[in-house]
Chain A
């Protein structure tokens, strides 16, 4: 199988890569591009650790092929902070102790950003349902949900 040439934009950078036609976006990010902030928990779309945004849509990168990124905009956990300034979601995850081991954290932060882009003022229940595709085994979700609601409030405050 010959490799495919893909031109795409990742975290604002124009990126070109060669990938196998059957390689997942997750494998391309982690293995070909060494963007290892995106995690693999299952590779079957069931844990959300691999969450990225593809043209503004939240996807499991393990279910997207590397070749599908052609001409698209991808945002990964590495692109959430503004340089060395943490995004309010990242800051609130830290302040709320919303990570224990931290393996689920990149996925949750990317998913939370997608949630708040759609719904800047989610209820606790809306946040829980939106984030139901992201597994966390350590925290029981309490502090994660608090961080999400806290970040939403902060971002609404900054926007108004």
Chain B
């Protein structure tokens, strides 16, 4: 469905500019940075799920061989509670600091307590053993409902439920309510009501590259930081805040990044590495191991979500009620907000109420994970939609088409939708041969849909024209899945020159203009907009140069196919970009252009997934045997990487549905802290994942782009669960649909 009538470069899938380095091992990722004289930093972590720190004695570690610095939270400034931007979501800087190094209390098993820098990783590890910490163990609370109970162990004595008692501290850190219409009246009009409760476990983003940083503090008080991050400018802001430095004194250079999915939009190691470097006077490198990544970074929220839905016999939704409880981990800030805003966003429902709860638990503080909060909400809502379609004897896609939001619908979270592609995406799914393909024994099919807002935020781009007419394109947006290629395609299209003549770079915080995180599916949309704008500025400048050369008015000059075209009357020949660049010294100096903006109008993304599974009734094992992801991209700039986003999101969602979960013991100790038993999908767990790119242009973007990165993880949970239901005749409402759980349900049938 991807069409390319109007463009030469946009909508093609050339090889990415950074590709050769990535297939030959030359590309430098987070852990690949070394500096002369570098020390190695290691972290001592809490052996308890919840405990008071009574004392820490670091003296033996300080005098251990090879040790040059030891630090605890005492070495970080005491920050007041203050909310700030953290990529897509807000963060309380005091919580951020205390998550980096525990102050007074440890709140989860693996919580960082102290750090050491030594001349080798081995000596640093040995020194950790010499740090004496006296703890007073406290009861842990791991489940959302338990943490909300009146007699629950309290994580934060100074945290009170907003609008609740201000005398008695609570683990409910936040609440929200979104109402519309009159739900009592709405449910009274309903012919059929379905009400169910769903749970999803804590799962990890699962990037293959562990967090890594190398930092060097100069005697002049300037910190140089190299790390793998989705947003160098966010690392800069957070590191400066936690260390009470001016942002101008912190330079962050992003390495290549080995996956993030949202979780590399915060900091864990960076302020520690900078501080250890300051204390020791040497550069410090810190690299997490997999166990640390699983125990103390990410994950995303567990959830308990209840949906009640009412519809009339002719398939019209009339009322809905949702109660969404998200676990935040040790500090407030689960994706309750986006979860509540998107749970009913795909449908026109005249009467609804959504209630949200943000609940702290003795687990790591959650980090963003691809469409934060939405997959859990959609698991619940889409499962109920599927069940309702069954009760009404309607085709599940027809039922959704009957109620789907479209241009002009007022979204459940407030604004009126501009042009959106949900209806088109549903129709494309219905027409896809997969939807009507025959199924065999023990096989079943399910559909699920997904919505995500996508975001705009701030971006900058600079173009420097080389004297040969080739172009260096600089942004500060981390390239996590091929965005350099998209940036170069925009510039090639606008300038009318070959893609190969453009070298797109991801630069550091001192050389690139400000860019917010690569997150919220914003880079191709927003940084792309900045590239388009900078390119237009450059073209305007080059037309001026040509006009000057020819002695004509600038508005008589056209820009076509990478050259300035003079008015016919001038009798001159067109000037190529190379010629304009070569003569730049005489026409006003070097050719550069830049643009910065706060992108408005990120277009909402809608996806529909079709999943076929085969269930082994003897073992309860579910195999995904066919899968199709259909999604509106607005306009696919590099279609192969758009498909890759659809496929990767689907695979993560399938893992979430079938395998992945954090398993804790009753002391709050994570039992599956490696890839062997935190089991993510491997190649032989999955079939080919078919994709359809629907293109309903986003009116707010010059090329019609919508973000595509996050929506694909939203539909799979319900699609897989429904396929299992249709294959095995049991409706699973608690993820994951692991073989023992499914087998127990089948046997109980």
Residues of A within 8 A of B (CB): 20, 30, 34-44, 46-47, 49, 76-78, 80-81, 86, 90, 93-97, 99-106, 109, 124-125, 127-129, 131-146
Is B631 interfacial (CB 8 A cutoff)?
A: no
Check A125/B256 contact, CB under 8 A, given A47-B675, A77-B24, A101-B207: no
Q: Mark B633-669, 1 if CB is under 8 A from A, else 0.
A: 0000000110111011111100000000000000000
Is B570 interfacial (CB 8 A cutoff)?
A: no
A104 CB contacts on chain B under 8 angstroms: 208, 258
Q: Name the one of B25, B26, B290, B644 contacting A143, with C-beta atoms under 8 angstroms.
A: B644
A102–B22 touching, CB < 8 Å? yes
Question: Whole-angstrom distance between the alpha carbons of A127 and B686 in the complex?
Answer: 12
Q: Contact residue range for chain B?
A: 35 or more
Within B647-702, which residues are at the interface with A (CB < 8 Å)? 647-652, 674-676, 680-684, 686, 688-689
Within B475-522, which residues are at the interface with A (CB < 8 Å)? 480-482
Question: Whole-angstrom distance between the alpha carbons of A72 and B496 in the complex?
Answer: 53
A103–B641 touching, CB < 8 Å? no
A47–B647 touching, CB < 8 Å? no
Q: Which of B257, B260, B261, B688 has the most CB of A within 10 A?
A: B688
Q: Which of B205, B207, B209, B640 has the most CB of A within 10 A?
A: B209
Question: Whole-angstrom distance between the alpha carbons of A139 and B681 in the complex?
Answer: 11
Is B13 interfacial (CB 8 A cutoff)?
A: yes
Question: Whole-angstrom distance between the alpha carbons of A32 and B676 in the complex?
Answer: 28
B122 CB contacts on chain A under 8 angstroms: 20
Check A100/B641 contact, CB under 8 A, given A36-B25, A95-B15, A138-B648: yes
Residues of B within 8 A of A (CB): 13, 15-16, 18-20, 22-29, 31-32, 34, 122, 205-210, 256-261, 287, 289-290, 480-482, 640-641, 643-645, 647-652, 674-676, 680-684, 686, 688-689
Q: Which of A35, A132, A141 has the most CB of B within 10 A?
A: A141
A86–B683 touching, CB < 8 Å? no
A30 CB contacts on chain B under 8 angstroms: 31-32
Question: Whole-angstrom distance between the alpha carbons of A38 and B206 in the complex?
Answer: 19
B688–A145 touching, CB < 8 Å? yes
Q: Given A42-B290, A102-B258, A138-B648, 19 more contacts at CB 8 Å?
A: A30-B32, A36-B28, A36-B29, A40-B287, A49-B208, A78-B24, A78-B25, A86-B23, A90-B20, A101-B209, A102-B27, A106-B25, A128-B683, A134-B683, A137-B206, A140-B647, A140-B648, A140-B649, A141-B686
B29–A103 touching, CB < 8 Å? yes
User: Nearest Cβ in chain A — how far from B645, in angstroms?
Assistant: 8
Check A39/B29 contact, CB under 8 A, given A101-B481, A140-B686, A143-B647: yes
Among residues of A, the one whose C-beta sits closest to the C-beta of B646 is: A140
A94–B261 touching, CB < 8 Å? no
B205 CB contacts on chain A under 8 angstroms: 137
B481–A37 touching, CB < 8 Å? no
Q: Name the one of B23, B28, B207, B686 contacting A99, with C-beta atoms under 8 angstroms.
A: B23
B15–A142 touching, CB < 8 Å? no
Among residues of A, the one whose C-beta sits closest to the C-beta of B294 is: A42
Question: Whole-angstrom distance between the alpha carbons of A137 and B655 in the complex?
Answer: 10
Q: Which of A30, A86, A96, A128 has the most CB of B within 10 A?
A: A128
